[in-house]
Amino acid sequence: MRKNFGSKPLTIPQPVFILSTYNEDGTVNAMNIAWGGLSESNEIMLCIDDGHKTAKNLEHCDAFVVHMGEADQMLTCDYLGVTSGFKVPDKVERAGLKISKATHVNAPLLDDFSIAVECKLISYDPNNCRCFGEIVNVSVAERVLDENGNVDMKLVKPIVFDPFNRDYLVASEKVGNAFRDGLQLKVTE
């Protein structure tokens, strides 16, 4: 037996992306985005409704930074999603986030988040909400690197959005080896 939920955006996991841009006056805006992912090896795609302040910022910005949501910043991630940049223009400051300038694009970097993807805007279409960015650089805070310089997901504690239950979940437990464990089932050719 199966239960039908109808035509709804119910895929799991959905990322918790925090997108940061500059407002027209140079202050920083950020929002929580769950609908997005890679569309090419050096390209990210996000769905941003044109009613958001971030969408308006993309009309004058040529770059943005996508930060990965993490358990230690869950409250901030949710706040940035439930608070409008139009109604609370200083919401990033109110969230107490440390801000610096990204090193490879003209966009703000939110230092409290461990992983940041710096992007140049390729296009944004307000009619279908699709935003494409060229990935220019990925930077990772040293605090989440292991002794060999590799990212330790147990230190990052990335979170994902569960749309079925409207929950944030931690996604850092290893269950297998990608591109290796499945070889056990591969038929010898």
Judged against a pLDDT cut of 90, whether residue 174 lies above it is answered with: no
Judged against a pLDDT cut of 90, whether residue 31 lies above it is answered with: yes
Contact 58, 48 (CB under 8 A): yes
Judged against a pLDDT cut of 80, whether residue 132 lies above it is answered with: yes
What is the average per-residue pLDDT within 13-24?
A: 95
**Amino acid 149: pLDDT:** 97
What is the average per-residue pLDDT within 17-24?
A: 97
What is the average per-residue pLDDT within 157-181?
A: 93
Bridge partners (DSSP) of residue 20 are 30, 65
CB 118: neighbour CB atoms within 10 A?
22
What is the average per-residue pLDDT within 15-38?
A: 95
Q: pLDDT tens-digit profile of 63-115?
A: 999 999 999 999 999 999 999 999 999 999 999 999 999 999 999 999 999 99
Q: End-to-end alpha-carbon separation of the chain, Å?
A: 37
Judged against a pLDDT cut of 80, whether residue 138 lies above it is answered with: yes
Kindly list the strands in the beta sheet with 63-68, ordered across the sheet, starting from the edge strand earlier in the chain: 28-33, 17-22, 63-68, 115-125, 130-140, 43-47, 36-40
**Amino acid 186: pLDDT:** 86
Alpha-carbon span 100 to 108, nearest angstrom: 6
pLDDT band, residue 154 (cuts 50/70/90)? very high
What predicted TM-score, i.e. pTM, was given to this entire model? 0.93
Alpha-carbon span 143 to 150, nearest angstrom: 11
- 14-185 fold: Pnp Oxidase; Chain A (2.30.110)
Judged against a pLDDT cut of 90, whether residue 36 lies above it is answered with: yes
Judged against a pLDDT cut of 80, whether residue 189 lies above it is answered with: no
Which residues, in sequence order, are CB contacts of 187 under 8 Å at separation 6+? none
**Amino acid 114: pLDDT:** 98
